């Protein structure tokens, strides 16, 4: 992977801040490439834990899975703040992009589903456990092993 430098170095954030952006996003955009050469970006719910990003989907079907069978190389974008500042012709933002390899996981599937419940529905943990059990066989879970994480922010306006 080519190592591009951030052009606006004043907007670069350190690795800890990049991780905070990644952890705190409400959704991310998973970008894949298909056998037809077309890119595909799709918003997904996700959970981050210990250097990995987890997301779930329907079992063995869909555009996302077709692309991931073709190539596991992905990027994953999270934007946590986005405020258009019209009079300054700019936007206040925080964003992170993870690059890595996505693969289906069986061994971390239950852990990942619990992480998703914990992130999105923490007040419904018991119901979440029941939902995991009822949907478990109809669900696939993918894990992205992060190879590179970059982030930047325009905080002067946020």
pLDDT in tens, 127-155: 988 888 988 889 999 999 999 999 888 87
The closest of 105, 47, 43, 41 to 67, measured between CA atoms, is 41
Supply the DSSP string of 37-53, one letter for each residue. Answer: S-EEEEEE--EEETTEE
The alpha carbon torsion through 82, 83, 89, 94 (nearest 10 deg) reads -40
pTM above 0.75, yes or no: yes
pLDDT tens, 23-59? 999 999 999 999 999 999 999 999 999 999 999 999 9
């Amino acid at each position: 992977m080519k190592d591009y430098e951030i052009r606006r170095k004043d907007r670069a954030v350190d690795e800890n801040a990049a991780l905070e952006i990644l952890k705190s996003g409400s959704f991310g955009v998973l970008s894949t490439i298909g056998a037809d050469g077309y890119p595909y970006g799709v918003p997904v719910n996700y959970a981050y834990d210990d250097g990995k990003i987890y997301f779930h989907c329907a079992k063995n079907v869909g555009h996302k899975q077709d692309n991931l069978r073709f190539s596991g190389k992905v990027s994953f974008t999270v934007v946590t703040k986005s405020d258009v500042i019209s009079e300054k012709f700019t936007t206040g933002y925080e964003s992170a992009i993870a690059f890595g390899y996505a693969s289906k996981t069986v061994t971390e599937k239950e852990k990942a589903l619990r992480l998703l419940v914990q992130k999105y529905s923490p007040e419904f943990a018991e119901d979440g456990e029941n939902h995991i059990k009822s949907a478990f066989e109809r669900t696939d879970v993918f894990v992205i092993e992060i190879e590179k994480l970059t982030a930047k922010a325009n905080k002067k306006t946020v």
